[in-house]
């Protein structure tokens, strides 16, 4: 198995979705001023297309994903690639793919379904792939991360490693 890490900060990923890259309606059709996605977006889209398992690791800040991750979703998972209001063609790009989400947080979240974890899952793992055939195989929360000892953090990593080996 080959793993490629895409660190958005190391990549200096530009998270701002420019107006010319967004869709709008003209004469009843969805269009964007720039017909071709920007080069950095094309690279990320190709990485997704080449992958069987997509693992998203990001902290939960203010009960949501960080701005850089949200910008990544906005720019990469665009109309015509991850979904379409006009055809099911983009769904084919995601057939057979699986995804999981690992989200550390400072809050005492556990992996039980609380109102807060359900809301976060809905807006992240539940929503990102809702227009595709990607199978979400899990969303794990790692609570109280800033307050944990080195041994407790290593325990999180060992649990995650064992889980990934099962997958």
CA distances from 81 to 4, 41, 77, 167 (A): 21, 10, 6, 26
Distance CA 10, CA 50 (A): 21
Distance CA 145, CA 156 (A): 9
β-strand partners of 110: none
| Mean pLDDT of each 10-residue bin along the chain, 167 residues long | 93 95 90 92 97 95 92 94 89 92 84 84 87 89 92 94 91
Distance CA 102, CA 20 (A): 32
pLDDT at 58: 96
Of 22, 26, 24, 51, the residue nearest 37 (C-alpha): 22
pLDDT at 110: 67
pLDDT at 47: 97
pLDDT at 152: 93
Residue spans per domain, the chain: 19-166
Threshold 0.85, pTM exceeds: yes
The CATH number that domain 19-166 falls under is: 3.40.50.360
pLDDT at 53: 95
């Amino acid at each position: 198995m080959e793993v490629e890490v895409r660190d958005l900060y190391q990549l200096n990923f530009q998270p701002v979705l420019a107006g010319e890259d967004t869709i709008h309606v003209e004469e009843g059709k969805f269009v964007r001023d720039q017909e071709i996605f920007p080069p950095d977006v094309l690279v990320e889209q190709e990485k997704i297309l080449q992958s069987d398992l997509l693992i998203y690791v990001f902290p939960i800040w203010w009960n949501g994903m960080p701005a850089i991750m949200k910008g990544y979703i906005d720019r990469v998972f665009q109309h015509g690639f991850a979904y379409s209001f006009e055809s099911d063609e983009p769904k084919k790009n995601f057939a057979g793919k699986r995804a999981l989400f690992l989200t550390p947080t400072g809050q005492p979240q556990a992996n039980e379904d609380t109102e807060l974890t359900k809301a976060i899952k809905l807006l992240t793992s539940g929503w990102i792939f809702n227009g595709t055939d990607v199978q979400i195989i899990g969303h794990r929360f790692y609570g109280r991360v800033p307050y944990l000892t080195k041994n407790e953090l290593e325990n999180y990593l060992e649990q995650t490693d064992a889980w990934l080996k099962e997958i």
